[in-house]
Amino acid sequence: VAEDDENIVGLCAAGASRDPDANPKTAEIGAIYVQAEKWRTGVGRALLSAALEQLRNRQFEEVTLWVLKPNQRARSFYASFGFMPDGAVQDNDDWKTIRIREFRYRLSLRVI
């Protein structure tokens, strides 16, 4: 969680991957949110960096996340960390009224 004074301005949730094709050494960024007025201030970068470090410490070897194709801002942000699309696509219809197409991005956590 990221705070500014007494307010929460962002959060990042990470853990073992929920994908059925994932191996036990694959983690997932399940959520990362930053208030829009805090975009481009380093909050998101700090949150994701801390999550990746924590996943490395937990001995995960790679991490994935799902992102909407039209969300160019998020895709560029993840690419700046080295995340790349791995070819997996899913249609999320949890909203019942709309279907959302998501693309999976992947990053190796192995230290070379």
> What is the DSSP code string of the chain?
-EEETTEEEEEEEEEE---TT--TTEEEEEEEEE-GGGTTTTHHHHHHHHHHHHHHHTT--EEEEEEETT-HHHHHHHHTTT-EEEEEEEEE-TTSS--EEEEEEEEE----
pLDDT category, 108, cuts 50, 70, 90? very high
Q: What is the mean pLDDT of residues 97-110?
A: 90
| pLDDT the model gives residue 72 | 93
pLDDT at 86 over 90: yes
**Taking 70 as the threshold, does the pLDDT of residue 95 lie above it?**
no
pLDDT of residue 79: 96
Global confidence as pTM: 0.89
The pLDDT value given to residue 112: 57
Task: Determine the average pLDDT of the residues in 58-71.
Answer: 94
Does residue 55 register a pLDDT over 90? yes
In this predicted structure, the answer to whether residue 88 has a pLDDT above a threshold of 90 is yes
pLDDT band at 93 (very low <50, low <70, confident <90, very high): confident
